[in-house]
Amino acid sequence: MVFLCPYCQNNDVVKSGKKKNKSGIKQWHKCNNCKRHFVERDGFERMRLSPEIIVKAVNQHNHGISLSKIKDELQQRYNVKVSRWAICKWTKKYSDLVQKSQKQSSGINHFSQTKMDEGQRYTK
């Protein structure tokens, strides 16, 4: 897979080790043109928590669970302190992305309505 350098937009990029932080292990890349290092962008840049925890919180909030309950569950289950405001910001930032990925990963088939003849019903 070819990456473009986010700084100079060149595709002369090589792997340059791995970066480990609280959110997990990520591949470092080095641009041979501008000699800068970068991590592939996955939408969760500069987040101190793992994408799995963020996605779980956004899912719960989209399903109508209150911010306080989500905050308490993250504290109990993952031993993570998060403010209600942070969960609200995650929801605004990631809810569209989470819903699209859920539809793609679950293989949801939408019902399509065809012309209604006698005895004919909705088809998948």
Is residue 111 included in any domain, yes or no? no
Q: Phi and psi dihedrals of 93, rounded to 5?
A: -80, -40
Largest CA distance in the chain: 69
- Model pLDDT, residue 103: 65
Taking only the tens place, the pLDDT of each residue in 41-80 is 777 777 888 888 998 999 999 899 999 999 999 999 999 9
Is residue 122 included in any domain, yes or no? no
Residue 115 CA to residue 122 CA, distance in Å, equals: 9
Looking at the structure, do residues 32 and 59 belong to the same domain, yes or no? no
The count of structural domains within the chain is 2
Is residue 7 included in any domain, yes or no? yes
* CATH code of residue 24: 2.20.25
- Model pLDDT, residue 51: 85
Residue 31 CA to residue 11 CA, distance in Å, equals: 8
* pTM: predicted TM-score of the whole model, two decimal places: 0.61
Mean pLDDT of the residues in the chain: 80
Q: What is the DSSP string of 53-71?
A: HHHHHHHHHHTT--HHHHH
Rounded percentage of the chain residues whose pLDDT exceeds 90: 46
Residue 38 CA to residue 16 CA, distance in Å, equals: 9
Judging by beta carbons within 10 Å of its beta carbon (0-12, 13-18, 19+), is residue 1 exposed, middle or buried? exposed
| pLDDT of 89 above 80 | yes
